[in-house]
Amino acid sequence: MTEIVKALTDADAPVTWSVVMTVCEPRALVQTNVLWHLATGASAVHVFFDDPGDPAMASIRQIAGCQAVVCDSAHWRELNGRKGRPASQMRRQTLNANAAQAVARTDWLFHIDADEFIWQDGNLRSELEALGRGQTELNLPVLERMFVETAGQRSVFDGMFRASSQLSGADARAAFGEFAPFMKRGQYSHGAGKSGIAVGQGLRLGVHNATIRGSERWKRAPKQVSRTTRLLHFDGLTPLHWAMKGMRYRLNPPDVRNAVLQTHRAAQIDWMLEQGETLEDLLRAHASLFLLTSDRCRRLRGFDLLCEVPFDPGHVLGASAPDLSVAAFDADVRARNPWLDDILNGSD
């Protein structure tokens, strides 16, 4: 009888969901990400700190609902045996995501990055209830943040968003202009979105999608695209943040750089490095890619790809929000990446 009562109670309980991410980002970004998702429906946020000495860790792990894990050598021995810490960032993310699945106490788990935020146009929980706890992943379509030319940037989250798309040929050139070769599914970064899975149902989380064990190997799991929820991606919270991410590839030879990047991303990074290495050069390159000029707005609206999303985490979080000014964020970027100033100042 006890088992029957428990089963009925569980069936009536609301569906719960959580988030997992592997991070190595400024404290304000990670803190905002954790607090945003807890404030908008997540029951827990699993945060794996890729840098064991991350200065953001002490404050982030104090947030109620945050499950923080330090990715030290012991952590990697436990997840990856004698191979230890994988060289591939994507491999580290995948191992961490599935380690979170093993301990998650929620019905669903979504795998995202620190610069990605789950935005609900509708009721995500109702959609998860309707989908059930089967072996189908729920994909969140991605929107990529753009900067409004006439507005400037007060908060690191200001801007509008460009929807992903499947344009090709003449339509892609008409929508995106000369930078169409730098894009995949209409995005500079990724157009695949991110996914969530029902916990404990035999699915394995990847960076963008989930897989399921087939008769002989793992294969892509069935997918449903969300009707209620999208993923907001901030590919560089500030122009300097974007430049830092690109300039890291300068430290690698082109063949190594291009081996770890998708073709469109490699072309974008190569172009960025060709524009020069002074801060002015990099800011000009960023504006060329991301600034919403009147012409770019017209092109994107012509294909219904420009979205206004009222995303304002500072308003939602209130007194809990960190300093989200550009100046404070860039100061953290420089402090965490002292090599960046060396490059910008012309000393290797």
Average pLDDT over residues 14-41: 98
* pLDDT-based confidence at residue 258 (cuts at 50, 70, 90): low
Q: Which of 1-10, 76-85, 205-214 has the lowest mean pLDDT?
A: 1-10
Confidence at residue 256, expressed as pLDDT on a 0 to 100 scale: 64
Q: What is the pLDDT of residues 310-324, one digit of tens each?
A: 999 999 999 999 999
pLDDT at 88 over 90: no
| 314 Cβ contact list (under 8 Å, min separation 6) | 155, 157, 321, 324
Q: Please, what is the average pLDDT of the chain?
A: 91
Short-list 87, 76, 84, 70, CA closest to 23 = 70
Which pLDDT belongs to residue 62?
Answer: 96
Q: Six-digit token pair at 216? A: 């002989």
Judge whether residue 257 has pLDDT over 70. no
Q: Beta-strand (E) ranges in 78-213?
A: 108-111, 116-120, 137-140, 142-148, 160-163, 194-198, 203-205, 210-213
The tokens of 191 are what?
Answer: 């157009």
* Long-range contacts from 9-12, C-beta under 8 angstroms, 24+ separation: none
Which pLDDT tens digit goes with each residue over 183-229? 999 999 988 999 999 999 999 999 999 999 876 788 999 999 999 99
142: amino acid identity, one letter = V
Burial degree of 228 (CB within 10 A; 0-12, 13-18, 19+): middle
pTM, two decimal places = 0.93
Residue-wise pLDDT tens digits, 272-303: 889 988 889 999 999 999 999 999 999 999 99
| Distances in whole angstroms, Cα of residue 158 to Cα of each of 3, 110, 229, 238, 243 | 51, 24, 20, 10, 18
